[in-house]
Structure 1
């Protein structure tokens, strides 16, 4: 079984109550019994798919949150497979047996015995634990009412009649060190939430994820729930779950108060400083406001210094915090304990009952109050039960103990004569005795809080997936905010760094839409792949992928690359570089050219750009310039120097100072020529010797000495896509087949009849085949009739070559999913030496990261990727062979394929995001989506060839405009069309934003996301998804009428053309003759193509019927009239074109 490691990307899989808890003031817990398993699954599906349950570590907009856990019995009732239950029983007998049977092990006897527990803990009927947290009682009541009135609540569960187990913080005040946080107190007058352990994805006292969650290594490096004895399906089901313990503990504060006052009276004669707060602090280990008691302290420090983490090494003798104190027992840290491993418990509890006041009446003093304890861990036996039964209820650890008292605050205290030993630094020790229990257990429950994917699986057990949610409200919102039946397509334009905006745009758009078809070129292809991966994880039940996308700009903007000082020996040279820049790693031979490229970035004018480039070039080739200078200088000055020496030998008059001036001028000229020649020669040499063998690029994206964790472009693409999909980098790579088979595909009237209709998530990206001079769309089409409709587009790869471009694990996977070359048609050459070692690139099983990298090969910056194709040009089949072809940036051929998913009348919108330069006429406009249907039809102007102040600037602008026009004419034309322009948001960037500027500062990177990405998505939402907005209806109207305009134009004169007999045969006669004479000629008799043989009668009838239908369509348009209910400007045209 492959190892699974925790990462922040998985946080969205974990129920928030388990992962981080809530900063809420109120809570209510319901312990319910399942009375109808099918209804219970439907109810659970509603909670999950309608976004009622809360996941991840971030606070949501909801002021009330819900989480759910299940007892062992409850899991069985809901139909969890027997295999999963068997593993749970074997690995956690405490969970299987239940809290009532385990209670005696924890010392729950006498007043805490199970026979005296409160309802709903008084019986074995507990199946489900629903926890509700809110900021105030009103919000809590509202959320509880919502849960109780949901469809099927009373049919699914019994136990709603009880008011639930309520808890509420006593008092709170702003934290002076952090006003956003609240200082809260629990009973016994102690401060709460001081030292809260967390797993390593968050700040604080960190632990490995396996201490909290099932399926990950713990602090000892052992993964108990994913070992070789655990079936893979069970390990996957349990992963991201956590065991929750609900323990209601009554706190008899009046008993504690009476005891403390009695002890103070007895001790004050000998210890004048002793008071109730002092003794309570020694029993707890902290002063009431949270500071750890330090050696020698007799009163709280002023000002108060809260020490969240207690360090036993700083108090080895217990002079401050005694060895038997509560905090030293529950978390011994470095104290000597057996067994030695720490037992971490993650606390989420809250007090219940009124605050204690000794001045109140006896009835109020004795009121029911205590702690509604909520604890989470990955092992009930090894963590929760051990801490309670061993560390709290046994003798204290440490050498300086003279008594046998249990935990002074929460211990059972059933041993007469037991003493609590308080060693003092400046005097004799204090020994407290005469304890009575200050707490008693009022109930306890063990439950499993499954992860998101496990919950999703539970909802469909023995229930068809389309029945999982009993009633479907099209405006209801799931956990990510997107209704389960609201889809959209999205196409993202190519570029390089400007694609950063796509991350936040997609993350924001995901709150209102689910993504069906996703496409892009260049950086847009990478963004499309990330979007598809995040959508895949959402279809599996988690929105964590979109959370990761939202954080991607911040990750790319990270300039703190000095985190591992032992490994990063060259950290000084990387200081201040963002992750975006560090991803572009040149090879050894291309570093000089890469440094020249970097020097030209972020320049405000052409002059500074050229100057910076020249200076960088001189610096990179200074050694070569020096060598050339010395050689040329020797040649130039050889004559004059020899003449001077000759004159000196014959006592002739030597040249004067004036005669030396030409020599000096010659030396200076030589220096200039040397620099020019050396720099040009060095650049030419590096291009020829290093750039060309490097795939015609400065950065190949994967170093020769790479490991799986290497920081380089290909490794980052792979890790990002895997993370967005909820997978680890060592897991099986996400493939197109995975996307196609994901759950949650459109159903019913939303089913897509097009070619991609069978694909739940359809990702398509473009790459440019430079040998063929045309774009390739990935995934490649798998021919339905091999040899006849494969479009001559088969591609092959050499594993040894791809290992220079991708992690070795990906290449091995490709080898496993591919097959060696073999001919599939008579046109293909036989296998031979030319095809040895080459394997066919898979279609469905192609990892999407490979397609994204093929599409993202910006010329000269990012290397092209070598693939192989069949060269069919030689006439003789035997002379044909497989030849290498370079796959470069998809944007070269189709930078903004907005047409990619268009249909006649759309079922859902296809959004496009186009990147443009900021207009000089409207410099304030950053993001624009046309609101009215006629807006956006004007051209976008390129004024570089006109507005240049000098002839050279105009010439440069003219050349750039030539390239942009050649490159963008198709995209620019499509952007003006009706039905297109109103669904494409224009993002207007400044010249220094995006482009190939990989040296952008952290501020600029974050600005791209905040100023452009999120507003772009909000523009779509406001127009197409907000209630009451007519945008979507108007768009469908425009698309429908544009189709009619184009179709009318296309069918006009069709019948006349079909019946034409001038130098040809009318189509109707051709069809009539087709059963006796083949309409087309064909060379192959063994594998004939359709129409190269006579047609059968049904084929003939089909063609005749369709021709008649076209005649009728033309007549229908003519008879309907042409009143122009809609004017399409510019007028669209239906034309035959290649499917790309």
Structure 2
């Protein structure tokens, strides 16, 4: 490797003498949420696995399901290569077959296996059927008729009684056609009102009791097709991809995050806590910076309705002992017996995180955890009982967490699989930036402006989309992001809530994913390729962005210190004077000298002061160099728009 200060004239380099362009052999992957749009991902993952070892994998909602499956398949590959399992789990081969499986007929013949994954609570079946009719790809008039037919089929007795009551006067008198028509119209309204009232009553009574979701993800006890329910199926599927039964014979051990971490696989997902008003990254952090995991508990009785029995058994057996401030000495014995601390982050089952990320509001039940409101505890200084915290779909907080695995300078590419909207079937479906100036322009999100309910719904829908998507939408168009994101655009009848997609459409969506996966391989993982948008191009962009944005931030630092120098707010006082909160003060105040023999600092204050001085030397050297030679500006010819460095929470 040439020395960092070795002078090279880029204009004088002979292209024939340049070393071959580097290519990546490992990658990270982040996938966006989108309910059934996730059918795009299996073949994309299969293509990536042919060229890369998957190291860090993340996603939200349906992207979390795909991330869990990808991580499990990579674990199965690593276990087999290491001789830890006798038979190859063939996880990536099975992933490639998944779209065909999900597109095949369900056991009851009422649709595909994809639609069968979503089993509503029996009491909420009519609401579920209405929702499916509303999101079907029929014309508006046909959708309205389908909704009415569904309601009549489910509530025929109430509708019949309403019709009889409304037409009762016609049995005794029909003095004129006008009166008859009026009574028939009134009867129709009475029937419609009855159907709406019955549905609303069901919705408002049963939905909260089912975790605010039509489907729990688990089958009913008398369901003959137990393995077709979403959580039950997914739990067994990811265990199979990972070779879990071979690795832990006879133990029924669910796949955990520590299983993945033992083979260098970092899986992360996003969930949203409505009660605490913020998103969380799963598994919960539990290190010297963030102690999230230790605050949460779960009820065994509630989890028994949301997860397979062996998963709940594992969590109870591996629950952390209660901390001192969690001792429930004055709680009811049944409450003590039912409430458990979450296991350590590594012992969390992957299916728990995937299900917490995939809790699409109203479709799938939210997941309840419990924690103590320490604000109450501080105010009362008494025992405070743990309260329920509702966790819903990760997409509410961050539907495309492309930032998950970013470091100042990447050692491998982090690919992003994004989902967007195609205005028509003829639009380009798989979109990659063709050069470094590509993908800078935002796709417009148009809605009807001509008045009526459509305009209002469109406006509110657009406002909601901006509220939850603005962060990743702005990131996706930045340099250093846009060259590593593949956008798959789907029409209104593809993916999303279209649970009843036919097999042909499911297979077509999966092919879009395969196309995206092959493009990533061609750009970043194919030796000898000379494509402009490659790994070396990405490395250079990231280096330029880091130096330019860091230089900008250090200029602000220098300016701030100059403004406060010599005033009562001078920051230098914190290295020598015992001021400010005692718990935050540097140790070794006034001891600034380094050891003459080693050049190392023996005090925190000395090292802190030296660090600040080194940081200040950068913008001052840059300013002096630019004044002498303007062409040395680090933001000259840097990719635009330049991002900014900011302090942000660890989410």
TM range (shorter): 0.7 to 0.9
1:487 aligns with 2:4: no
Number of the residue aligned with 1:677: 193
* Structure 2: distance between partners of 1:553 and 1:767: 25
Residue in structure 2 matched with residue 1053 of structure 1 by the alignment = 556
Structure 1 residue 887 displacement after superposition: 0.9
- Corresponding position of 1:721: 238
Tell me, yes or no, if the aligned pair for 2:590 and 2:605 is still in contact at 8 Å.
Answer: yes
Matched, 1:884 2:374: no
Larger helix proportion of the pair: 2
2:639 to 1128, 1131, 1135: 1128
Distance 1:967 1:613, change over 3 A: farther
Determine which of 374, 381, 399 is the counterpart of 1:872: 374
Alpha-carbon distance in structure 2 between the residues aligned to 1:1118 and 1:832: 66
Partners of 1:1123 and 1:519 lie apart in 2 by 33
Q: Are residues 727 and 592 of structure 1, via their aligned partners in 2, closer, same or farther at CA, if it must alter by over 3 Å?
A: same
Q: What secondary structure is seen at the aligned counterpart in 2 of 1:912?
A: strand
Give me the whole-angstrom Cα distance separating, in 2, the residues matched to 1:870 and 1:522: 27
Paired residues of 2:61 and 2:395 also in contact (CA < 8 A): yes
Find the residue that maps to 2:539 and give its secondary structure: helix
1:508 alignment partner in structure 2? 47
Whether contact under 8 Å (1:600, 1:609) holds in the other structure is yes
Structure 1 position 579 matched with structure 2 position 113: yes
Match status 1:496 vs 2:17 = no
State the distance in 1 between where 2:489 and 2:99 align.
18
- 1:304-328 CA-to-partner distances (Å, cap 9, x unmatched) read xxxxxxxxxxxxxxxxxxxxxxxxx
Distance 2:240 2:274 in 1: 32
CA–CA separation in structure 2 for the residues paired with 1:581 and 1:551: 17
Deviation at 1:942, TM superposition (A): 0.9
Aligned residue number for residue 852 of structure 1: 354
2:411 aligns with one of 907, 911, 920: 907
Aligned residues of 2:294 and 2:341 also touching (Cα < 8 A): no
Matches within 5 A, 1:654-693: 659=175, 661=177, 664-665=180-181, 667-693=183-209
Deviations 1:19-64 (A, max 9, x none): xxxxxxxxxxxxxxxxxxxxxxxxxxxxxxxxxxxxxxxxxxxxxx
Structure 2 residue aligned with 1:151: none
Q: Which residue of 2 aligns with 1:1017?
A: 517
Give, in whole Å, the separation in 1 of the partners of 2:154 and 2:422.
35
Map of 1:400-479 to 2, 5 A cutoff? none
Residue of structure 2 in register with 1:600 after alignment:
134
Q: Which shows bigger deviation, 902-911 or 697-706?
A: 697-706
Query: For 2:92, what is the secondary structure of its paired residue?
Result: helix
Task: Say if 2:588 is the partner of 1:1042.
Answer: no
User: 2:460 — aligned with what?
Assistant: 959
Which residue number corresponds to residue 6 of structure 2? none
Q: 5+ unaligned residues in a row in structure 1: which ranges?
A: 1-474, 476-482, 562-573, 645-654, 743-759, 1082-1088
Q: Does 1:833 align with 2:331?
A: yes
Between stretches 886-895 and 601-610, larger displacement belongs to 601-610
CA distance in 2, matches of 1:911, 1:816: 37
Taking the aligned partners of 1:1095 and 1:945, their CA distance within structure 2 comes to 65
User: Residues 733-761 of structure 1: CA distance to partner in whole angstroms, max 9, x if unpaired?
Assistant: 1110011112xxxxxxxxxxxxxxxxx11
**Which residue in the other structure is 2:604 paired with?**
1099
Counterpart of 1:927 in structure 2 is 430
Q: Aligned partners of 1:598, 1:821: CA distance in 2, in Å?
A: 44
**Where does residue 103 of structure 2 map in the other structure?**
557
Distance 1:1061 1:623, change over 3 A: farther
* Stretch moving more, 1059-1068 or 884-893: 1059-1068
Give the 5 Å matches for 1:189-588. Answer: 486-541=25-80, 542=88, 544-559=90-105, 561=107, 574-575=108-109, 577-588=111-122
Give 1:895's aligned residue: 399
- Give the SS at the match of 1:530: helix
Maintained 8 Å contact 1:796/1:821: no
**Whole-angstrom CA distance in 2 between matches of 1:944 and 1:540:** 50
Give the SS at the match of 1:991. Answer: coil
SS at match of 1:997: coil
Taking the TM superposition and a 5 Å limit, the aligned residue runs for 1:929-1008 are: 929-946=432-449, 951-1008=452-509
8 Å CA contact retained: 2:76, 2:91: yes
Once residues 385 and 607 of structure 2 are traced to their aligned partners in structure 1, the CA distance between those partners, rounded to angstroms, is 40
- For these two proteins, the number of residue pairs brought into alignment is 591
In the aligned structure 2, how far is the partner of 1:990 from the partner of 1:769?
30
Distance 1:706 1:778, change over 3 A: farther
Q: Which runs of 5+ in 2 are unaligned?
A: 1-19, 81-87, 592-602, 627-632
**Distance apart, 1:1078 and its partner CA:** 5.5
Cα displacement (A) at 1:916 = 0.7
CA distance in 1, matches of 2:645, 2:199: 49
For residues 726 and 1123 of structure 1, the distance between their equivalents in structure 2, rounded to whole angstroms, comes to 50
CA distance in structure 2 between the partners assigned to 1:496 and 1:608 by the alignment: 24
Q: Structure 1 CA distance, aligned partners of 2:163 and 2:501?
A: 37
Contact 1:1080 1:1093 in 2 (8 A): no
Deviation at 1:1114, TM superposition (A): 2.1
CA distance in 2, matches of 1:526, 1:925: 26
* Among candidates 1088, 1109, 1118, match of residue 614 of structure 2: 1109
Q: Are 1:819 and 2:320 matched, yes or no?
A: yes
| Conserved? CA contact 2:57–2:67, under 8 Å | yes
Instruction: Give the TM-score taking structure 2 as reference length.
Output: 0.85
**For the Cα contact (< 8 Å) 2:417–2:487, is it kept in 1?**
yes
